[in-house]
Amino acid sequence: MGYRKAEQILPNEIIELIQNYVDGECIYIPRKENNRRDWGENTSIREELNERNHNIYLDYKNGMKGTEIADKYFLSIKSIQRIIGKMK
């Protein structure tokens, strides 16, 4: 999300109306409900996390201990337990 100058996209009447509520402050205008995107939709992070979680589960199935897996992936043991539980 980037910042855009109101003067470049809004008519002066709208800017003056908004200034009655917030003058010189930054505000967030949310997307319309039908234009919202799911988390990670614009990047490959979902696929990367799914692959990581699959590898964690394979390590578990191959006999690695939870503490070893946690150290390998720099995660807490609770996170490893949660991932393994979801993958079962």
Q: Domain extents for the chain?
A: 6-87
Question: What is the model's pLDDT at position 1?
Answer: 62
Predicted TM-score (pTM) above 0.85: no
Question: What is the model's pLDDT at position 19?
Answer: 94
pLDDT tens digits for 2-28?
788 999 999 999 999 999 999 988 888
Question: What is the model's pLDDT at position 54?
Answer: 97
Residues 6+ apart with CB under 8 A from 46: 39, 40
Tokens describing residue 65? 């201990």
Whole-Å CA distances, 43 to 18, 33, 40, 78, 79? 33, 21, 5, 26, 22
